């Protein structure tokens, strides 16, 4: 039995990691979709798909005994909810169950004939990507406890704190104007 989980992972945090471990306790394999792969350098989407792939891959290498059970696939966003499930279905190997705490994602996959489940709420308030991005651009090191060690390392290597501060300092209307 193969599960599927969808996230933007901006950035990948310990709540995501716990969800993945939970799913692997229920399923043989898991597909991790990196959603909105073409978005980066934006306040809500600061990291590229490649950086997010790295965060997930490194963290799973560190934390899982058998990484061959997990498949990571970046998926670009097609801005068309009526096609979105079909877009995912043809992009990844077959799967059985979609895990999501997002009601719309469960609804869309259920309409597409898939079984859907929720994951337990590891995702406490601190385990929120929006909260973590806010800590980062405010210069509050608290974010480092909320993400796996490899994610700290990757964000530091790409000077991600500076990137988030620049993105947030840039008034939206000014953006590329």
Residues at the contact surface with a second copy, assessed by CB under 8 A: 6-8, 10, 35-42, 44, 48-51, 53-54, 57, 61, 67-68, 71-74, 76-77, 79-87, 89-94, 102-105, 107-108, 129-130, 163, 166-167, 169-170, 173-177
CA distance 78 to 105: 14
Give the residue with the Cβ less far from a second copy, 81 or 140. 81
- Cβ burial of 54 (10 Å; 0-12, 13-18, 19+) is buried
Give the residue with the Cβ less far from a second copy, 102 or 118. 102
Provide the minimum distance between the beta carbon of 52 and a second copy in the complex, in angstroms, as a whole number: 9
Question: Is 129 in contact with 8 (CB distance < 8 Å)?
Answer: yes
Provide the minimum distance between the beta carbon of 147 and a second copy in the complex, in angstroms, as a whole number: 16
Alpha helices in the chain, H assignment, sequence order: 14-26, 49-63, 81-89, 103-111, 129-137, 149-157, 160-169
Give the residue with the Cβ less far from a second copy, 105 or 143. 105
Question: Is 103 in contact with 122 (CB distance < 8 Å)?
Answer: no
Name the helix (H) or strand (E) containing 74: strand 70-74
Provide the minimum distance between the beta carbon of 25 and a second copy in the complex, in angstroms, as a whole number: 21
Provide the minimum distance between the beta carbon of 142 and a second copy in the complex, in angstroms, as a whole number: 20
Give the residue with the Cβ less far from a second copy, 73 or 144. 73
Give the residue with the Cβ less far from a second copy, 87 or 149. 87
Please report where in the chains the tokens 């950086």 appear, as a residue: 51
């Amino acid at each position: 039995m193969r599960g599927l989980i969808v996230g933007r992972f901006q950035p990948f945090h310990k709540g995501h990691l716990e969800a993945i471990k939970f799913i692997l306790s229920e399923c043989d394999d898991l597909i991790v979709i990196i959603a909105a792969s073409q978005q980066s350098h934006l306040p809500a989407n600061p990291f590229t798909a490649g950086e997010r792939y790295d965060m997930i891959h490194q963290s799973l290498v560190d934390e899982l005994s058998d990484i061959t059970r997990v498949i990571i696939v970046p998926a670009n966003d097609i801005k068309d909810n009526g096609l979105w499930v079909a877009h995912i279905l043809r992009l990844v190997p077959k799967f059985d169950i979609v895990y999501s705490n997002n009601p719309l994602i469960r609804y869309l996959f259920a309409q597409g004939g898939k079984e859907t489940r929720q994951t337990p709420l590891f995702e406490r308030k601190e385990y929120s990507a929006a909260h973590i991005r806010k800590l980062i651009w405010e210069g509050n090191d608290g974010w480092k406890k909320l993400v796996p060690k490899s994610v700290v390392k990757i964000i530091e290597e790409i000077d991600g704190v500076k990137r988030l501060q620049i993105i947030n300092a840039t008034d939206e209307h000014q953006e590329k104007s």
